[in-house]
Structure 1
Amino acid sequence: MKPLVLICSQDAELYMFLSHTLEVDGFTTEPAGGAKEALALAEEREFQAVVLDCGPASITGSAICARLKRDPRTCGLPVIALIAPGAENQHLGLLKAGIDESFVRPIAPAKLLDCLRAKLALPKRGSNGVENGGWLSCSGLEMKLDAHRVRGNGHDIHLGPIEFNLLRLLLGTPGKVFTRDELIGAAWPPNIHVGARTVDVHISRLRKALKDTSPRCVIRTVRSAGYSLEEMDG
Structure 2
Amino acid sequence: MKPVVLICSQDAEFYLFFSHVLEVDGFATELASTDNVIRHATEREPEAVVLDCQPGSATGLGICARLKGALQTDALPVIALIAAGAEHQQLELLEAGIDETFLRPFAPAKLLSYLSARLRTKPLNSNGDDDAGLLICGELKMQLGRRRVHCNGQQLHLGPLEFSLLRYLIENPGKVCSRDELVSAAWPANIHVGARTVDVHISRLRKTLSPYNVIRTIRSVGYALEEQEI
> If the TM-score is normalised by the length of the shorter chain, which range does it land in?
0.5 to 0.7
Counterpart of 1:175 in structure 2 is 174
Opposite residue 105 of structure 1, the aligned amino acid is L
**Cα pair 2:19 2:29 within 8 Å, conserved:** no
Structure 1 residues 144 and 232 mapped into 2: Cα distance closer, same or farther (>3 Å)? same
Structure 1 unmatched ranges of 5 or more = 1-48, 55-60, 93-99
Pick from 216, 222, 225 the counterpart of residue 226 of structure 1: 222
- Retained in 2: the 8 A contact 1:136–1:172? yes
Instruction: Tell me the amino acid that sits aligned with residue 221 of structure 1.
Output: T
- Contact persistence 1:91–1:102 (CA under 8 A): no
Structure 2 CA distance for partners of 1:76 and 1:91, relative to 1, 3 Å: farther
Alignment of 1:68-87 (within 5 A): 68-71=14-17, 75-77=20-22, 78-79=28-29, 87=35
Deviation, structure 1 residue 139 = 2.3
2:13 corresponds to which of 67, 73, 81: 67
| 1:112 Cα deviation from its structure 2 partner | 5.7
**Aligned length, in residue pairs:** 159
Alignment of 1:1-234 (within 5 A): 52=7, 54=8, 61=9, 63-64=10-11, 66-71=12-17, 75-77=20-22, 78-79=28-29, 87-88=35-36, 105-106=67-68, 107=71, 108-110=73-75, 133-212=132-211, 215=212, 217-231=213-227
Give the partner amino acid of 2:170. Answer: L
Give 3-state SS (helix, strand or coil) of 1:192's partner.
Answer: coil
Q: Report the Cα distance in structure 1 between the residues aligned to 2:228 and 2:176, rounded to whole angstroms.
A: 16
User: Which string of whole-angstrom CA distances, capped at 9 and with x for unpartnered residues, describes residues 99-149 of structure 1?
Assistant: x99978234454569xx9xx99x98965678xx633222221111111101
TM-score for the superposition, normalised by structure 2:
0.54
CA apart distance, 1:70: 4.5
Q: Give, as a single letter, the amino acid of the residue that structure 2 aligns with 1:204.
A: S
Identity %: 45
For 1:88, give the aligned amino acid: N
Contact 2:47/2:77 (<8 A) preserved: no
Flag the 1:208–1:110 CA change in 2: closer, same or farther, 3 A.
closer
Residue matched to 1:95:
none
Measured after TM superposition, the shift of residue 228 of structure 1 is 0.4
**Gap regions ≥5 residues in structure 2:** 23-27, 41-45, 50-65, 79-111
Q: Is the 8 A contact 1:134 1:146 kept in 2?
A: yes
Give the residue type in structure 2 aligned to 1:211: S
- Given that 1:79 and 1:101 are in contact with CA atoms closer than 8 Å, whether structure 2 keeps it comes out as no
Is the Cα contact below 8 Å between 1:170 and 1:228 reproduced in 2?
yes
Q: Residue 47 of structure 2 contacts residue 76 of structure 2 at CA under 8 Å; is this kept in 1?
A: no
Alpha-carbon contact 1:50-1:80 (below 8 Å) kept: yes
